[in-house]
Amino acid sequence: MSKVMVFQQVSLDGYFIDANGDMSWAHRQDPEWNAFVAENAKGDAVLLFGRITYEQMAGFWPSSTAIEHFPTVAKGMNSLPKVVFSRTLDKASWNNTTLVKDRMAAEVRKLKEEAGKDLVLMGSGSIVSQLTQEGLIDEFQLVVNPIILGKGKSMFAGVKRKVSVKRTKTRTFGNGNVLVCYEPMA
């Protein structure tokens, strides 16, 4: 069975976007961090997105700027299979993308059974919240950025029950980012 993993950058105070919906604060470059991101992009997974994150990613990764400045990551992002969950999109035109308009939790359960690849949810805070509430997340990979935003949006807004987790891994980067991995406890 495939795993559903969340890969999300968050501020020290726990927000994945600031009060204006921006997350440019999460792009702190350094060679070690860039190598980590490029290595992750070479993985073999199915990427999961909500509409807003999908539109941001689809608007950037196929661009000549992304291909020129981040060739390894752009190649991975553009070639990996993707699923976008949206009730409002009419079509998903980014290469290798499937649009799912309803029954998100049922579709994720089906993908976990059939995909043969892990499912990586990037961004998409409302989707993270819904799948956490459904008990469908197998691993949270959070990159804590050394910044305090004061206001913003939590990816766990809407979770109505406590979810206990155990830390499985940490890694500190030279740019101050800290990767912390957690798995839900049974």
pLDDT by residue for the chain (186 residues), tens only, comes to 899 999 999 999 999 999 998 888 887 778 898 888 878 777 788 999 999 899 999 999 999 999 998 888 899 899 999 999 999 999 999 999 999 998 999 999 999 998 688 999 987 888 999 999 999 999 999 999 999 999 999 999 989 999 999 999 999 999 999 999 999 997
Rounded Cα–Cα distance for residues 177 and 146 (Å): 6
pLDDT for res 177: 93
pTM summary value: 0.90
Domains in the chain: ranges and CATH: 4-184 (3.40.430.10)
In a 10 Å sphere around its CB, with 0-12 CB exposed, 13-18 middle and 19+ buried, how is residue 87 labelled? exposed
* Cβ atoms within 10 Å, residue 132: 21
Alpha-helix runs per DSSP H in the chain: 31-41, 51-60, 64-69, 71-79, 104-114, 125-133
Are 158 and 129 contacting, i.e. CB atoms less than 8 angstroms apart? yes
pLDDT of residue 41: 73
Res 28: pLDDT? 76
- CA torsion angle 175 118 66 123 (round to 10): -70
Roughly how many angstroms between the first and final C-alpha of the chain, as a whole number?
17
Q: Tell me the two tokens of residue 102.
A: 């309803």
Question: What is residue 115's predicted lDDT score, i.e. its pLDDT?
Answer: 66
Nearest to 117 by CA among 144, 87, 82: 82
Q: Which residues contact 20 (CB under 8 A, 6 or more apart)?
A: none
